[in-house]
Structure formats: structure tokens, C-alpha cells
Amino acid sequence: MTHAVAGHGWSSWPAPAKLNLFLRITGRRTDGYHALQTVFRLLDWGDEIRLRPRDDGRVLRHGMGASGVAEADDLAVRAAKLLQKSANIAKGLDIIVEKNIPTGGGFGGGSSDAATVLVAANALWSCGYAIDALAELGTALGADVPVFIRGHNAWAEGVGEVLTPIDLPDAWYVLVDPGVHAATAELFQAFELTRNAAPATIADFVSGKPLGNAFEPVLRRREPAVDAVFEALARIGSPRLTGSGSGCFVEFADRESAEAALATLPQGLKAWLAAGAARSPLLDALDANRLQGRRQEAQGTRF
């Protein structure tokens, strides 16, 4: 739920992380981008975005935001300015990004931050944009932004923006950040990257057919830290890479199994637990904001 923080006028909004349960590259498009297939799994864990509308039209980031990212390049700031321009809004926004999602890990932190700002600012500024319109606007910020805006687990194609909602079973995940910032552009140019995998189907995924991640063998050869994490995680299950980042994970059916596995991992690994989400916590926050607004309107009519 949204709640007042850091003084009057602030509200807090979740920016959940994601996992790619597999990732295949099936070819190159006429626009030069690679054609992908993946399943996005949303997590009940991520960053927290604090927002406060301003009357002077300025969009300001307070604090450092994403580590090492200049304010002008911060996707959260860019998202606010994009919506402001698109909707011709005179209001501004104060932004605080509380980072929990590692940068460069493939957990979708920047894209999720941008999506949360678009969804929340749309509500706070009363822009009136429908989710479809916000998702289309979000593609200008990144191919992963629409899935966070729509807020549902999805089978994805195109460059990741063509989404088909998919139901996924409850699951818990052991996540590990190897501490490597994977450069997506460089990985896509790697000569050893498989770019012509046979297209998979949703039925392939549902049946449990191993579909893999095209970037896994590339990163494991290039980054000893990533390979070491895979070796450690192989002792507790079947490790996978998420997206084109360095983040690794193992899936478990329940929390107890995940906790037991986490306890056996070597000291020194940056590892933690997260639950899969059937629905983005951002949508829950949006519902709570709307309910609060209706209550305030109802109270206003009583006087």
C-alpha cells in the first residue's frame, strides 16, 4: 500500500524485480535488434520509489538513485519527464529511489523504477492514461518497461515488449549477485553468442523443456565470478541466469526448501530469498491509491 513517508505529500511505491526464466535469441529483426523469447517472472521484492508532486514543474531526484547513474540519465527521472511532456503536465515531481536491486544483474531494476514512476505519476498527476498507453510510452525507455507497467507474469517476444500473460505456479527463489556488471551491448556483440535458436512455444515451456539462457555460456566463460556462482548453486539445485545480467537464481516450490538451501551456500556470497508474485505489488499500490482517493472524495462530500 502507499503511505505517507518523509514528510507531508510523499507516497511510497514498489518497483518489483523480475527474473527471466529462460531467454532465447531467435534471429535478428529488420531494424537491427535481436528477436527474443523469454518468460518474465515478477518478484515480491525490489526497489522502493518515493514520490511527491511539485507545483513548479521541476523533476528532481533526491539522493544518489541508481549507483553511478547521473540524474539526467536515471530512468526514473526520464520516465517522469517523458510522461510530463506527453501529457503536457505543468506539475513536477520529487523522486527518491531506494535501491535494493543490484545494477547490471539482470533483475530489471532500472526498467522497473521507470515503470513505477510512469504508473504512479500518472495517478498523482491525474493524467488519465490507460495502462495500454503507459506501456506504449514505456517502450521508449526500454523493452522491459511494459511488463512492469502491466504487472503480470508474461511470455514475451519481439525485443521483449510483445507480451502474453501467463500463469505461473507459486515459487521461491535463491538469488545471487556475483558482483559483476554485465554490459548488455557487449554481450549481444559476442561472437560466441547463439543468435539463431529455434523458436520455442509456450507448450515447450509449460512442459518443462529446458530452454536455457543464451547469455549463460558467454558470461560463464568471460566472468569467473559468474562461473563460480553457478558451481556453488549447482549444489542446491539447477542454477539459471536472469536476462542479460550476471544475476543467478535457483527455483524452489516453497519457502522452507529455499531457506534450507540458502543456509548451505558458502559464506561470502551475496545471496537472498525472494518469492514469485502472481501480480505485481505495484498494481496493489495503485489500487490502494485509488481507494484512498475515493475515500477522500466521499469525506469531502459530507461537509
Which residue range is the domain that position 169 belongs to?
1-303
Query: Which pLDDT score is estimated for 133?
Result: 97
What does the chain come to in residues?
Answer: 303
Cell output for 168: 505461473
Residue 117 · residue 84 · CB < 8 Å: no
How many domains in the chain?
1
Choose among 102, 21, 23, 111: nearest CA to 269: 102
Looking at the DSSP bridge assignments, the partners of residue 138 are none
Choose among 94, 106, 21: nearest CA to 57: 94
Q: Which residues contact 240 (CB under 8 A, 6 or more apart)?
A: 21, 22, 213, 216, 248, 249, 250, 251
Strand boundaries in the chain, DSSP class E? 11-28, 34-54, 59-62, 92-98, 154-157, 162-165, 172-176, 240-241, 248-252, 271-275
Residue 120 · residue 148 · CB < 8 Å: no
Query: Which pLDDT score is estimated for 1?
Result: 37
- Cβ–Cβ contacts within 10 Å for residue 267, how many? 4
Residue 287 · residue 186 · CB < 8 Å: no
Q: Which residues contact 83 (CB under 8 A, 6 or more apart)?
A: 89, 117, 118, 121, 122, 125, 127, 129, 134, 137
Report the CATH number at residue 135.
Answer: 3.30.230.10
Query: Which pLDDT score is estimated for 52?
Result: 97
Q: Rounded CA gap, 58 and 156, in Å?
A: 35
Q: Which residues contact 209 (CB under 8 A, 6 or more apart)?
A: 200
Residue whose cell numbers read 505543468: 90
For the annotated catalytic residues, the residue numbers are 18, 144
Distances (CA, A) of 138 to 26, 96, 119, 208, 292: 24, 20, 10, 31, 26
pTM of the model: 0.92
pLDDT less than 70: residues of the chain = 1-7, 65-67, 300-303
- Cβ–Cβ contacts within 10 Å for residue 145, how many? 28
Query: Which pLDDT score is estimated for 302?
Result: 55
What is the tens place of the pLDDT at every residue in 184-193?
Answer: 777 888 888 8
In angstroms, the first-to-last Cα distance of the chain is: 27
